[in-house]
Amino acid sequence: MKLLKGNILLFLGMFLLLGLHSHAQDETEGIEFTMNLSKEELGINERLRVDFTMNKDGDNFKPPQFEGFNVVMGPSQSIASSWVNGKRSYSKTYSYILKPTARGSFTINQATIEIDGQTYKTTPQKVEVTAAVDKPNSEKTVDDVADESLHLVAEVSKGNPYLNEAVTVIYKLYVSPNISVTNYRPLDNPTYNNFWSQDIPVTKHTAQNGTYQGKPYRYVVLKRVVLYPQKSGQLDIEPLSLEIFVDVPTNRRDFFGGRIYTQTSKTVSAGKRTINVKPLPESGKPVDFSGAVGDFDFSVTTSKTQLNASESLQAKVEVSGKGNLKLFQLPEPELPSSLEVYDPEYEESINTYSSGMEGKVSNNYTIVPSYRGKYPIPSISFSYFNPNTGSYETIKSEEINIEVIEGPTSSATNATTATNKQAVVPTGEQFHFININPNLNAIGVDRFFGSNLFFILLFAPLLLIPIAIFAFKKREAIASDVVGNKIKKANKLARKYLSTAKKELGNKEAFYVALEKGLHNYLKAKLHIETSEFSKDKITSILSEKHVGKEDIEGFIGLLTSCEMARYSPFSNVQMQQDYEKASEVISNLDKHL
């Protein structure tokens, strides 16, 4: 029994010792000893306050030598202690007031102190002493602290790109550790004139550690955008402006010794950036170059090479790789005239990353042969400019032979034979007959009564009565057809706003300018707003609030995107006709909702 009690006491003693050791180790790991400066840059006629703060009392405090400064006051001690949620908070501070002795860059070296038998040191910090200032040691306001602690920076991947080469702009907000950001809202979004732009959504704002002008900061990526310059020369990237809401610490403390914070808002701007866009070289430019810039692969393939007459096959012209995939026109194959070829179906699978667009685009042609025989599809070429090598490159496809096995035989002779017809030459012996019965009436005889015109005018009112009744009933039927009237009204409205665009079909620039103006004028008339001043995201938001279907919204935004792209890239007449028909359909659908 005594042995058992002894073991229990021994176990309890070891448990208490382990607990005390663990508690002491946790306290050791949580000890902090830091140096804080009132400012990192001051005039030679100003004063510098240096605070050495520890979160646990210690012994043998040794300050640095303060080279380049005279100690005006200090050391003075201040102690703050409080209990929050059962936890004790403690801090002890040694403060010095220093006066600089000369201009230049100086270092406040490390101070040391012993806490629980261990020596702790502060990190040295640099101080810049400048010329005398007008208001020495004026106390900084909350706005002054916020101005010094917030910096919005636009990082541009390339300052000297080629025309149509991808440029990435990343907007970073740098925040000093002295303040904390609570929220922000955009004030002025850049429109990126003379650029084709694509936003890359930032799904999560994660703070990261970094440096700004050699000082430690935290930063958050707020916006990413990929730009493709559409003009050469000096191009400006408009600034992004934000209103930032921040909490700034003050020199006041609460009852428990904690620092009091004040909230304020500041407007920050990334500043205007200018890039120098190099034109594409004229020397060595291929004749078939259509504006492709990047690194691409090119191929022409068919779904089959043998088939029967009246069967169909698919011919695909495809460009894949990395570059301005949405900003050039695919080459067209030269097919034999004896093949029936339908308008191509355009397909794209493109992803936009920070480095630019990647993916593939293609035109799919449906081909139907009518006669038996062999039909070659000649080789076609695709040329592009590679900014990595600074030169043009051309890729040629392989020639493809299509064999039609069964079907009627074409009669080439019938197609080429023409009948020569001779014109009839008059001989001069033609006969002319003279009418000898002139059918003349005596002058002064009134033949109106009893004539056909008399009876027509007499019975015309009786004939108009059933016509009027039929027209009235037809008008009532049309008025009762609500759905039909809406459709007619919508189609009439579409023709009204797109009439100018229809007149310019075939003239690319004038057509797409008129089309874009018509789309904006339609929303302006319907919603009583200036949509030309809105971004595509804002227009999407407005239409969504009006409960417009997602498909119609995407169609409207897609047309605006086509209008932007068409100003800088070639578009075919077929594409213009398709966009016009799509615009008529979209306006008709929108009018049903609006």
**What is the per-residue pLDDT for 524?**
72
**What is the per-residue pLDDT for 435?**
56
pLDDT in tens, 103-146: 899 999 999 999 888 899 998 999 999 888 776 655 667 777 78
Calpha distance 592→594 (Å, rounded): 6
* Amino acid in position 209: N
* Strand, helix or coil for residue 491: helix
**What is the per-residue pLDDT for 421?**
35
Residue 142: phi and psi, rounded to 5, are -60, -40
**What is the per-residue pLDDT for 541?**
81
Q: In the CATH hierarchy, which top-level class contains the domain 30-137?
A: mainly beta
- Look up tokens 């210690």; give the residue: 58
**What is the per-residue pLDDT for 94?**
86
Calpha distance 317→344 (Å, rounded): 10
Calpha distance 585→583 (Å, rounded): 5
- Look up tokens 């609500």; give the residue: 482
- Look up tokens 């005018």; give the residue: 457
* Amino acid in position 428: G
Query: Residue 473: which residues within 8 A CB-CB, separation 6 or more?
Result: none
Residue 334: phi and psi, rounded to 5, are -95, 100
**What is the per-residue pLDDT for 537?**
76
**What is the per-residue pLDDT for 428?**
46
Q: Quick check: pTM over 0.85?
A: no
Angle, in degrees to the nearest 10, between helices 550-566 and 508-527: 140
Give the strand pairing for 59-62 and 41-43.
Answer: unpaired
CA angle 261–267–268, rounded 5-degree value: 105
**What is the per-residue pLDDT for 440?**
57
Distances (CA, A) of 315 to 342, 381, 401, 402, 591: 11, 15, 12, 11, 39
Q: Where are the beta strands (DSSP E) in 85-166?
A: 87-100, 104-108, 112-115, 118-121, 125-130, 150-156
Q: Which CATH number fits domain 294-410: 2.60.40, 1.25.60, 3.30.479, 2.90.10?
A: 2.60.40
pLDDT less than 70: residues of the chain: 1-29, 83-86, 135-140, 251, 254-257, 411-450, 477-497, 528-534, 567-573, 592, 594
* Strand, helix or coil for residue 98: strand
* Strand, helix or coil for residue 319: strand
CA angle 516–521–523, rounded 5-degree value: 100
pLDDT in tens, 177-191: 888 888 888 888 888
